[in-house]
Structure 1
Amino acid sequence: MRAALKVVMAAIFSMPAAVALAKSPDCASWPTNMALVHLKNAGLIDIPSVIEAQTRAVRLASEKIGKDLHQQVYDITFHTRDGKTIEVITKNQASSEECSMSGVDVYVVSTKIGGSVALPSEVTTKK
């Protein structure tokens, strides 16, 4: 009976680790930070002027493309102290061990046509 209890307890305690590996990683900070660097290098934003508390990153997609490797797409919006808003779409690869499995492709959204103003599942992201 004790042996069976030990097996059941071991299975219960090992489940969260197994579930965590299967889950898509939450890696919003990596593409957010890299987008800021790309925007700064392109002369589109001054990093100290960004209001960090208003930065929004919404994961649009996360597709498993290998063993513990996901391709992720984020919609990130930055607001600056002078009232400027810059929206970007990012694409990168992440794993449960490392968010920076690839560089970050950054696409600046110049015009939004139709649809809603904001996505319902917006998540605040801090650097």
Structure 2
Amino acid sequence: MRKLLVLLSMTPAMCFAKLPAGLPCASWPTNVAEVKLQNAGVFKITQLDESKTKAVPIAIQSIGKDLYRQVFDITLYAHSGEKFHVVTVNNASSTECSMSDVDIYVVSQKFDAQVP
């Protein structure tokens, strides 16, 4: 986990201007993260305020013909105000979000750039 966070902090800003239609695809990794965290007992999906969910692409890299590796910073919000931060990694194509399983990394603490 620490290596992933160090890697992500060193990753330069990416330009997504030439991605095919349908990318980035945040629905698949977000849904899988919700289910896996519920199965792990972190929360119940019914506790989440889906309207506040945020999935921000960190990186998208071409790894084959119409195959892309996506990395997302996803924030899930409970109705109580509690936040759950995860980083997901999965493969997607221009027509299919679920070209691979989703690796999910729970972030125990997130330091925003605006907060000293």
TM-score by length of 2: 0.77
1:23, CA displacement in angstroms? Answer: 2.2
Show CA shifts across 1:34-61 (max 9, x none). 0001110111111011001100000111
Ranges in structure 2 where 5+ consecutive residues have no aligned partner? 1-17
Structure 1 residue runs of 4 or more that deviate by more than 6 Å after TM superposition: none
Match of 1:49 in 2: 47
CA distance in 1 between partners of 2:62 and 2:101 (Å): 17
Match of 2:20 in 1: 23
Structure (1 or 2) with the larger CA radius of gyration: 1
2:55 aligned counterpart, secondary structure: strand
CA distance in 1 between partners of 2:38 and 2:112 (Å): 28
| Matched AA of 2:25 | C
Match of 1:11 in 2: none
Q: Percent identity?
A: 51
Ranges in structure 1 where 5+ consecutive residues have no aligned partner? 1-20, 118-127
- Change in Cα spacing, 1:28 to 1:114, as seen in structure 2 (3 Å) is closer
CA distance in 1 between partners of 2:114 and 2:88 (Å): 20
- Change in Cα spacing, 1:113 to 1:22, as seen in structure 2 (3 Å) is closer
Q: Is 1:102 matched up with 2:92?
A: no
CA distance in 2 between partners of 1:114 and 1:78 (Å): 16
- 1:91–1:105 contact (8 Å) kept in structure 2: yes
> Which structure: greater helix fraction?
1
Match of 2:35 in 1: 37
1:70, CA displacement in angstroms? Answer: 0.1
- 1:31–1:92 contact (8 Å) kept in structure 2: yes
